[in-house]
Chains A and B, each alone.
Chain A
């Protein structure tokens, strides 16, 4: 594309959206959606995205990690809990592709099984945060007045607490059962649930803010006025006009945040306040491998879980950036 001298004028058909600074709208494909000349924004975004190799690379990575989390048995026949101390800290070999860890467990199997905790936390937290953020953002943006003031101030309070610090306080204040005979699986889900709760509690204001300002720019548009003039109920205006047209920025930030939630989960486990050792997670694996002696004598213990963790986070951030570029013509 030739860059125009004055970038303010968007060369695209959705000049109206660019003019008002409205985030590019998603959804509601018009009747002309099938024609090539005037695609709807959603299909336009899809057309933009599928030409970018980054989109396919990040999507492929994400699909692999999701399958890994759901069906780890597909990738390895090794039992991640079968460990032989005699094999402690062996370098990678044909039998143990990524070597073995301190306890003599197979690093490859544990890395594969470790994906589950990260994916569970990342995906569920994002769904919760997005739902709460969108609901609150719509209510404050659409109704305004004292409801808006109240919700915005409440959001500021949660927003003021850094996520890692708040996460530590929340996880510390909701103790897990310390009984060694407690059911392992249940304990795993309790801890994962606690991490999700903590991240959701501290994460919703950022999405609510974005949704609110997005709703504020959509609300005065003619099509919303028209719907109201025609007598549509607030519920109908919100669900079929406001939300579909205001959602795009939230989708972008939520995708990028998903990667950050995964990194935060690993950080909390690394600090010993998230998942605890019998459980398998990348954060725990990295924590165990990061002692100075091990860093030198068995770097493979550190390398592989770190690589998987970083690639997963990278994939979500890249996908978010690709989606943003595709949805926002002004950035091109």
Chain B
């Protein structure tokens, strides 16, 4: 187990270096002027350009620039946008809301997605199974921003606005319920399909037949032998997905006017505030990488076969 974790950590290093270098390269080294799109709806002043060149060491060789960029990133220094606010402080004040939203979406996914998948997988080929397959396919095809707007429309038409608010500017739990469902909708569909596929596969595996043959109760065969093994890939999917939810939140937070990290990125895009866009997105990518690493390590714990090879 220990060697497995160490090996995964070591494998992670080149990926983190590569991904951050990619972002750095795209932002600071592609042809064109990197300060472009950082001063809002006007040209940058000469003074700003001179300061920008100095701050980001644009005269140094590429690798030195990257090293300095990485050092800033590690210290949590994401630059200062043209409002004079540090991007890291802007993000810190908004993270609690976004994490709350992601946790609601994750809960929705676990409860609805896994139960739908189990119901469908237990009776493969039944009406319920077809219903789950078709409805998840439809949900996967509808982009999140369409689902979000449709949900707002439905709630407003039914006059349920007082119970389920359609905007969430304060980010209270009640306000975040509808956005949480919308953000989690896609993951619900994927989790349901994944649970179903794995359950169907495990139900006809040899170990389940053996369990039945030695006279265990159906509940025990299902719960301990089939379901527990089927859920391992689902749990890893949920882990990866938590990282993905941080990205999907950009769309959801824009629709529901949530003042989280996603909403901040959206507003920064529209105000041409490049320092904020790039800083915030880089942090999201880093979080995604770390979450993936944690999931991989967890996989080794849940499924001992993985860590033995």
A295 touches B247 (CB 8 A): no
Contact across chains for B26 and A306 when beta carbons are under 8 A apart = no
Cα distance, A30 to B211, chains bound together (Å):
44
- Chain A residues contacting B144 (CB-CB under 8 Å) are 267
On whether the beta carbons of B285 and A168 are closer than 8 Å, the reply is: no
A162, B285: Cβ atoms under 8 Å? yes
> Knowing that A160-B292, A165-B281 are A-B contacts, what are 13 other residue pairs whose CB atoms are under 8 Å apart, sorted by A's residue number?
A156-B15, A162-B288, A168-B277, A169-B277, A173-B34, A174-B30, A175-B36, A263-B141, A267-B145, A292-B167, A295-B152, A295-B156, A321-B137
Indicate whether B79 reaches chain A with its CB closer than 8 angstroms: no
Within 8 A of A (CB), among B144-183: 144-146, 148-150, 152-153, 156-157, 166-167
Contact yes or no, B22 A158, CB < 8 A: yes
CB of B196 within 8 Å of the partner chain:
no
Stretch at the interface among A98-106, A122-130, A268-276: A268-276
In the assembled complex, A216 has its CB within 8 A of some CB on chain B:
no
Task: Decide yes or no: A164 and B137 within 8 Å by CB, A169-B26, A172-B269, A290-B255 being known contacts.
Answer: no
Residues of A within 8 A of B137 (CB): 314, 317-318, 321
The answer for the CA separation of A296 and B167 in the assembled complex, in Å, is: 14
Give chain A's interface residues, CB within 8 Å of chain B. Answer: 6-7, 153-154, 156-158, 160-162, 164-166, 168-170, 172-175, 259, 263, 266-267, 270-273, 286-287, 289-290, 292, 295-296, 299, 302, 306, 309-311, 313-314, 317-318, 321
Q: Which residues of A sit under 8 angstroms from B292, Cβ to Cβ?
A: 160
**Which 10 A-B pairs give the minimum distances between C-beta atoms?**
A157-B18, A314-B141, A306-B146, A290-B149, A173-B26, A313-B141, A310-B142, A263-B143, A162-B247, A164-B247
Q: Is B289 an interface residue (CB 8 A)?
A: yes
- CB-defined A-B contacts under 8 Å, sample of 7: A161-B19, A162-B284, A162-B285, A175-B37, A271-B254, A292-B152, A295-B153
B138 touches A267 (CB 8 A): no
Complex alpha-carbon distance, A20 and B27, angstroms: 46
Give every chain A residue within 8 A of B244 (Cβ-Cβ).
Answer: 162
Residue in A157, A287, A306 whose beta carbon sits within 8 Å of that of B19 in the complex: A157
Q: Which of B156, B248, B251, B284 contacts A296 (CB 8 A)?
A: B156
Query: A306, B149: Cβ atoms under 8 Å?
Result: yes
Which single residue of chain B is at the shortest CB-CB distance from A202? Answer: B22
Contacts of B192 in A (CB 8 A): none
B282 proximity list for chain A (CB < 8 A)? 169
Q: Which residues of B contact A169 (CB under 8 A)?
A: 23, 26-27, 277-278, 281-282
Task: Give min CB distance, B144 to chain A, whole Å.
Answer: 8
Q: Is the CB of B269 within 8 A of A165?
A: no
Q: In the complex, how many residues of chain B place their beta carbon closer than 8 angstroms to a beta carbon of chain A?
A: 54
Contact A310 B22 (CB under 8 A): no
Tell me the bound Cα distance from A299 to B150 in angstroms: 9
The docked-state distance in angstroms from the alpha carbon of A195 to that of B111 is 36
Residues of B within 8 A of A267 (CB): 143-145, 251
CA distance A313 to B148 in the complex (A): 17
The reply on B214 being an interface residue by CB < 8 A is no
CB of B274, distance to nearest CB on chain A (Å): 6
For A156, what are the chain B residues with a Cβ–Cβ distance below 8 Å? 14-15, 18
Q: Does B270 contact A (CB under 8 A)?
A: yes
State which of B14, B37, B138, B289 has its C-beta within 8 Å of the C-beta of A314. B138
Q: Report yes or no: B22 in contact with A161, Cβ–Cβ below 8 A.
A: yes
Question: A160 with B149: in contact, given A168-B281, A292-B167 (CB under 8 Å)?
Answer: no
Tell me the minimal C-beta distance from B171 to chain A in angstroms.
Answer: 17
B265 an interface residue at 8 Å Cβ cutoff?
yes
The CA-CA distance from A174 to B274 in the complex, in Å, is 12
B243 adjacent to chain A (CB < 8 Å): yes
Bound Cα distance A309, B143 (Å): 8
Residues of B within 8 A of A157 (CB): 14-15, 18-19, 22
| Residues of chain B in range 10-51 having any CB-CB distance to chain A below 8 Å | 14-15, 18-19, 22-23, 26-27, 30, 32, 34, 36-37
Residues on A with C-beta less than 8 A from B14 are 153, 156-157
Chain B residues within an 8 Å CB radius of A168: 250, 265, 269, 277, 281
CB closest residue in chain A, given B244: A162
